[in-house]
A = this chain, B = another copy of it.
């Protein structure tokens, strides 16, 4: 296997094209589809403790469910990015650089707060 991201996007694009689904696949609609799939993914974890969630792949039934939903999320993310001509790798690399500035290790070590809150995290939890 080991297809590149653009190759995966081409497979998905052909799949939609063959079924005349491209006319449904506007960025707005794909963003909604992505939101819908995330909803299904989140719902798998909703009643689990964080510890249980870490062991979820040991339940074959749940593992299959999680894999299926993660695949759907990845699929719509690839299609959404494709429809907008956004290079996922490029925007991710840019975001990581930005986050290195926003979250200097010294200030953000052990704090889950947003960068806009990093000055006053001491007052707060976690």
Contacts and interface: CB of A to CB of B under 8 A. Distances in A.
Q: Chain A interface mostly helix, strand, loop or mixed?
A: helix
B86 A66 contact: yes
Interface in A50-68: 50-54, 56-57, 59, 61-62, 66-68
A70 to B, nearest CB: 6
A83 B41 CA distance: 14
B80 A70 contact: yes
Contacts of A40: 36, 39-40
A101 interface: no
B41 A57 contact: no
Nearest to A94: B71
A95 B71 contact: yes
A72 B47 CA distance: 16
22 contacts: A1-B89, A3-B89, A12-B96, A26-B54, A29-B53, A31-B45, A31-B53, A33-B46, A33-B47, A35-B35, A37-B43, A38-B39, A39-B40, A39-B42, A47-B126, A48-B125, A57-B85, A67-B86, A70-B86, A70-B91, A73-B77, A74-B77
